[in-house]
Amino acid sequence: MVQDVARQVADQVRTGFGLRLSTMEPVTSGADQHARLWLAQAADGSRYAVKLSGGGTPAGLVVTAYLAEQGVPGIVGPLRADDGRLSIDNDGRRVSVVPWVSDQRALDAPMTGAHWRAYGEVLAAVHEVPVTDELSRLLPAGGAAYPSIVTATRAMAARLRDPAPADLADPLVAELAGVWSAVADRLGVLTREVERRAADQRDRPGPTVVCHGDPHLGNLLLGADGQVWLIDWDDAVLAPPECDLMFVLGGVLAFAPITPEQQQAVLAGYGRTDVDRVRLAWFLAVRALDDLSDWTRQAVDLDAAAADRGRAARIVRGLVSPVGLVTLADTALRDSDRRGRAATTSSTSDKK
Cα–Cα distance measured from residue 215 to residue 122, given in angstroms and rounded to the nearest whole number: 10
**Mean pLDDT, range 253-279, rounded to an integer:** 88
Q: What is the pLDDT of residue 64?
A: 97
**pLDDT > 90 in the chain, percent:** 74
Task: For residue 194, give Cα distances in angstroms to 202, 236, 281, 320.
Answer: 12, 21, 9, 17
Q: pLDDT band at residue 31, thresholds of 50, 70 and 90?
A: low
- End-to-end C-alpha distance for the chain, whole angstroms: 76
User: Per-residue pLDDT for 234 more than 90?
Assistant: no
Residue 117 has pLDDT above 90, yes or no: yes
33 compared with 304, residue with greater pLDDT: 304
Average pLDDT on 202-214 reads 90
Lowest mean pLDDT among 8-22, 217-231, 338-352: 338-352
- State pLDDT tens for residues 237-258: 999 999 999 999 877 777 777 8
Summarised one tens digit per residue, pLDDT across range 53-83 is: 876 678 999 999 999 999 999 999 999 999 9
Quick: pLDDT tens for 302-351: 999 999 999 999 999 999 999 899 999 999 999 887 765 544 444 444 55
User: Rounded mean pLDDT of 224-235?
Assistant: 93
What pLDDT, on the 0 to 100 scale, is given for residue 233?
93
Q: What is the DSSP string of 162-220?
A: S--HHHHT-HHHHHHHHHHHHTHHHHHHHHHHHHHHHHHHHHS----EEE-S---GGGE
Between CA 186 and CA 192 the distance in angstroms is: 10
Residue 32: its pLDDT value, please?
56
